[in-house]
Structure 1
């Protein structure tokens, strides 16, 4: 346990057993697929499962990948602090799914590409492809480090678990089954981990409902506390959450995730047909909406339990991300195995996201940085794929170590990482919808979008929106009954020292204030980056001479700048 921990509970043997079984089963899946495919030595089979997977396991893998451990911990805390308006995120899931299914999927299947960045070279040039690849690697490795470190830190300050032991276990197990079993192991392990995540979430929700006397009580408490704040159609872009920022701002972010992020696109292209890919995409949408509903209700449960004694305001925890672990150790310690089940759920979120990241990084490195410049045999490419999986596993663990030294700047790192999606969706959209855009316009599009979105991300940390735009809903400690006991229960916990605010969601640095400029909602950064990419790409194209040739290749993409628009759509 961390020496500066505020409150700590204890895991019993059953909790450790449940957690250990999660790791053992995950590793066992990797051993199984390594044994089952021992006669096959193809990098294509290893990295894309031979393009033979069906819709159901792929959709479950997609859902697990993006319902990361940060999501499991942060979404309920978000609802607890800012209200259930967060549920409008389901609108973005639906809209982004339709766009990706009808616009992006046909292109990827028509081309038969293994990496999304192959498209950037086919449509524009090698420079655009390489820049996109570098952005992908930076984005995924940074995010993976935060996914590993953030939950480990949150738990180390709530329960008696070793921080770095959890980090190394997660990283090593991920690397093991990715290296042994390839994409098949990643997908089927995700299926198992999805079950663990659902079970852990449901255990907490059911216990909270019983404790509070039923669902009506929780809904009533939420309504009285202003948490059912669905009627908010303010168009002010500085507001953190309104219907417009969540429903439409997040739509562009999810189009970027589903349409241009290699970890997700790789799931599509490993399906046996475009029909399976589309079905997987829509099942994934249902899965995301289901998880969102559960996380929103979990946030309402949090508020119902702590409506009169907020652990964060009281200083019992150091950041909002610790609310769910605190609740678990508060209400479930009398049920051996259940706290361990929830911790296994959070760990599964880390495992699924990081394993997908390792596999995606291996693909883009092999396809975009090695294959085009070498003449390696298929056997050598196969072993190179395994070596890259090990390499990126080590990198992701190292990024967790870097995250530990960033303190409050982890929030800035996560914001910059999320901003990479805007420029990528912008340049891909330019290529798809603007047939006259040339290679100079494509490269300029990506560079300009990157500069603007990353600049906004950094500026939003230095000059955040005013407190009036981001202030949480009312929280109180009027009902706390502090005593000198060491019990974890919220009604009888000794008031600790001032919280340290060191996790990913709260900055240690005092932000500067600017009277002349304020950052927009973080959900608009992706839109601004994408719009900048498209506009600059069009301007540069018009200034340098748009493409006039219309002679198309059969697959609808050209070399030498010839193209036919209708062939993009099946």
Structure 2
């Protein structure tokens, strides 16, 4: 029972392939006789198999398989005593942990770490179990070792229901007895791990010496030391691979334990389904297998069943078992629709290229954009792939506690429209950071614009990676190929059409994405028992509609955290993000820009209801159709998977194309706004005599360069292990963008702070964000708030002692810029 690398051994006579598990033959087991109950683990690229019993005696020898060379050796040393039926788990960086077990005459309480260096065996003792235990199950919750069930003597007439935990980061603190497992004690259960929960499946009860198979399942929460009942197993499993084999993000597979099929558990929906095993037992071996199967898991992706057979022609075969993530298949019509959609975007670029005569057209569309299109573009810029996939995924996995985070724009719309907008429109700006120069000086403008460019680099890498990951899962195209394709197409049409093609492509993708979401809702409601009412009832019964998480724990999304995070994370793009502010400047006048802001804010209300509702409906639908839920690499892939497998042919292709477009919309917005910032705030700042045609060439080359760098950053993200891309985005937002927002608040709402105070505020914000993000567990929603508040507070403090100099007329709320004449 132990986690480590992606390989497993099967000492059994199995044959065949599986849909979610795949097997490969390994070197033959070197023992002359089969053994049951041995311990195993993975250490430094080698499989370590020790102890066990052959039915006549128990063993203490240790055998090592070099997985690279495929050779077996015998370690120089033995276990402290002959051992079988112990818990064994691979603990990364520490070794193979072995707890309890039996020598045939007595059960034992020893716990130790086993390592093999060269051929030498190293044994490191740990605190003994409180009581002798064998036939238990174990798992690791982070660095916490959990041992559950088992019995305390070979002749025991009752099984244990105790759960013990040991903090491996502080083993001297000793074992802690937790709340007992409900439903009675058991031996040979299977454990699993999901999030912060220990899962326990099946096993056997022992009462008065009689054994009975169990099909119940339980989850223990480490946060409140409480057990919750789970869906019962479709059939009993005794001694299956433990811990259960994780496949993808949300599937645990029970293999062995006398099962004829694989049992696949989905922790999020709390449902079971069956799947074909990777191999099927030979007829001659089935009876022995049912009687003797006992499984040890060598890693999350590698089970090691032992003692499956005691006789038979293939009893010594060893098989490596690997999980396989399925990929969806798009029909030819879907690919045709995707191709036409993407070509249409490029065609739009060529169309608008004829209207780009200078930087005013390339950056601001010559003020030709109607307010409603600008408003939809503001909304679509925030929509992107993050909203379309990560928000439904959050609701699918958890509940609605993040709902308010999408509605902050409505609350802030009047503040932005009547306080901030006049400064951007009336001062005749091309970039928002020109205001920073007028208010604080050129150095602050350059710092602010540079920080914006870094923030956009982080944004592009996240919002491009997410759809690429999902599209890769549902189409089978490599994720890096998806990222590269989206990056290249976005570069082509943005270089051609500037901000005008960016805005109109935003309008197109917003319409298609919202339409696709509505269609998915209709299809699910038509196939859920009871329709909308039935879906609400099922979701409410499992607390999936929870809006408010009470409490004051700043590490959790409690109501206070959500409200503060909503305000801070929404004020950033509307007040300091050139990609959004640039939309204000493309409309004919300030009144139109004000309507655009209100449009973008108001669209957030129905869209947030739609996308959170979509996630909840996905949960209800897959609970009623568990056979359709495939193991996925990440929870963010759940909606694209439904689109590809359940929407009509052609329609699914259109929506997948719109997801492509949403990702490219994020790239093109960032490319054009960064091009605007670099050309205006840096290049023209130091070359004021540059003619407009030359500046347009600089803008287009900057677009190409940033597009390439942003695409490369997304490819880098694709190589990292990120559980939730939405959480990553909040960290990026807080790290790079919050201080910049603080500068605008400092400039507009105060008078004393000058250049020194502004720089001090920006530096303080960066330092505070780094400390909070690195050394605290504060919820990611608050990171932006820490950055904004620290910037404003530090700027005001420094400004009090070192006030700035210069004229502030028309630059602060106390003396705003005058409105344009009639």
**Structure 1 and Structure 2 fold alike (TM over 0.5):** yes
Other-structure match for 2:793:
535
- Which runs of structure 2 are paired with 1:9-408 in the superposition (5 Å)? 9-35=328-354, 37=355, 41-213=357-529, 214-240=531-557, 242-307=558-623, 316-332=631-647, 335-374=648-687, 375-408=689-722
How far off its partner does 1:323 sit? 1.4
User: 1:486-505 to 2 correspondence within 5 Å?
Assistant: none
Q: CA offset at residue 42 of structure 1?
A: 1.2
CA distance in 2, matches of 1:73, 1:4: 25
Tell me how far apart the structure 1 counterparts of residues 324 and 419 of structure 2 sit (CA, whole Å). Answer: 49
Kindly state the Cα deviation for residue 54 of structure 1 after the two structures are TM-superposed.
Answer: 1.9
- Write the deviation string for residues 475-508 of structure 1: whole angstroms up to 9, x where unpaired: xxxxxxxxxxxxxxxxxxxxxxxxxxxxxxxxxx
**Cα deviation, residue 413, structure 1:** 5.6
Partner of 2:443, secondary structure, is: helix
CA apart distance, 1:286:
1.8
For residues 12 and 397 of structure 1, what CA distance do their matches in structure 2 show? 28
Over 3 Å counting, the alpha-carbon distance change for 1:443 and 1:568 in structure 2 is: farther
Given candidates 414, 423, 430, the residue that maps to 2:739 is 423
**How many Å separate the matches in 2 of 1:456 and 1:311?**
43
Distance 1:403 1:61, change over 3 A: same
Deviations along 1:193-252, one digit per CA (max 9) or x if unpaired, are 112211221222111111114211111111111012124443432222x33322332111
Match of 2:287 in 1: none
CA distance in 2, matches of 1:91, 1:414: 17
Paired residues of 2:360 and 2:366 also in contact (CA < 8 A): yes
State the match for 1:481 in structure 2: none
Counterpart of 1:507 in structure 2 is none
Are the structure 2 counterparts of residues 122 and 294 from structure 1 closer, same or farther at C-alpha, using a change threshold of 3 Å?
same
CA contact (8 A) 1:311 1:323 kept: no
Q: Are the aligned partners of 1:49 and 1:270 in contact in 2 as well (CA < 8 Å)?
A: yes
Whether the aligned pair in 2 keeps the contact of 1:76 and 1:295 (CA below 8 Å) is: yes
* Contact in 2 for aligned 1:201/1:345 (Cα 8 Å): no
Q: Which moved more, 1:272-281 or 1:93-102?
A: 93-102
CA drift at 1:60: 1.1
Contact 1:403 1:410 in 2 (8 A): no
How big is the shift at 1:529? Answer: 0.9
What is the DSSP-based 3-state SS (H/G/I as helix, E as strand, rest coil) of the residue aligned with 2:701? helix
Bigger mean CA offset, 145-154 vs 409-418: 409-418
Does the 8 A contact of 2:401 with 2:546 survive in 1?
A: yes
Asked if the contact 1:30/1:181 (under 8 Å) is kept, the reply is: yes
Offset of residue 261 of structure 1: 0.7
Give the 3 Å change call, closer, same or farther, for CA 315–343 of structure 1 in structure 2. closer
Count of matched residue pairs:
495
Structure 1, gaps ≥5 residues long: 460-517, 558-562
CA distance in 2, matches of 1:86, 1:310: 26
Distance 1:91 1:184, change over 3 A: closer
State the distance in 1 between where 2:643 and 2:398 align.
21
Residues 84 and 160 (structure 1), Cα distance of their counterparts in 2 relative to 1, 3 Å cut: same
- The whole-number CA distance in structure 1 between the counterparts of 2:428 and 2:583 is 13
- After superposition, the CA RMSD in angstroms is 2.4
The TM-score with structure 1 as length reference comes to: 0.82
Note the C-alpha offset of 1:373: 0.5
Q: Which residue of 2 aligns with 1:486?
A: none
Change (3 A) 1:349 1:413: same
Residues of 1 paired with 2:593 and 2:459: CA distance? Answer: 25
Give a deviation string over 1:506-552, Cα, whole Å, max 9, x none: xxxxxxxxxxxx422211111111111111111111222455x7x55
Contact 1:263 1:357 in 2 (8 A): yes
Task: Assess, with a 3 A threshold, how the Cα gap between structure 1 residues 368 and 410 changes in structure 2: closer, same or farther.
Answer: farther
The separation in 2 between residues aligned to 1:271 and 1:251, in whole angstroms, is 26
Which range moves more in the overlay, 537-546 or 296-305?
A: 537-546
Partner of 2:4: none
Which position in structure 2 is the counterpart of 1:414?
Answer: 729
User: SS of the counterpart of 1:429?
Assistant: helix
Deviation at 1:58, TM superposition (A): 0.6
Task: Answer 1 or 2: higher relative contact order, Cα 8 Å, separation at least 6.
Answer: 1
The C-alpha deviation readout for 1:294-330, integer Å capped at 9, x for no partner, is 1011011111023378899x98112211111232344
* Aligned counterparts of 1:311 and 1:231: Cα–Cα separation in 2: 32
Query: What is the CA–CA distance in structure 1 between the aligned matches of 2:515 and 2:804, rounded to whole Å?
Result: 55
Deviation at 1:266, TM superposition (A): 0.6
Q: 1:243 to 1:394 in 2, by over 3 A?
A: same
Gaps of 5+ in 2: 1-247, 249-321
| SS of residue in 2 equivalent to 1:394 | helix
Q: Against the structure 1 CA distance between its residues 552 and 243, is the aligned structure 2 distance closer, same or farther, given a 3 Å change threshold?
A: closer
Which residue does the alignment assign to 1:489?
Answer: none
Q: Which has the larger radius of gyration?
A: 2
- Whether the 8 Å CA contact 2:439–2:808 is kept in 1: the answer is no
Q: Is the 8 A contact 1:6 1:158 kept in 2?
A: no
What is the deviation of 1:415? 4.2
Query: Is this contact kept in 2: 1:10–1:160, CA < 8 A?
Result: yes
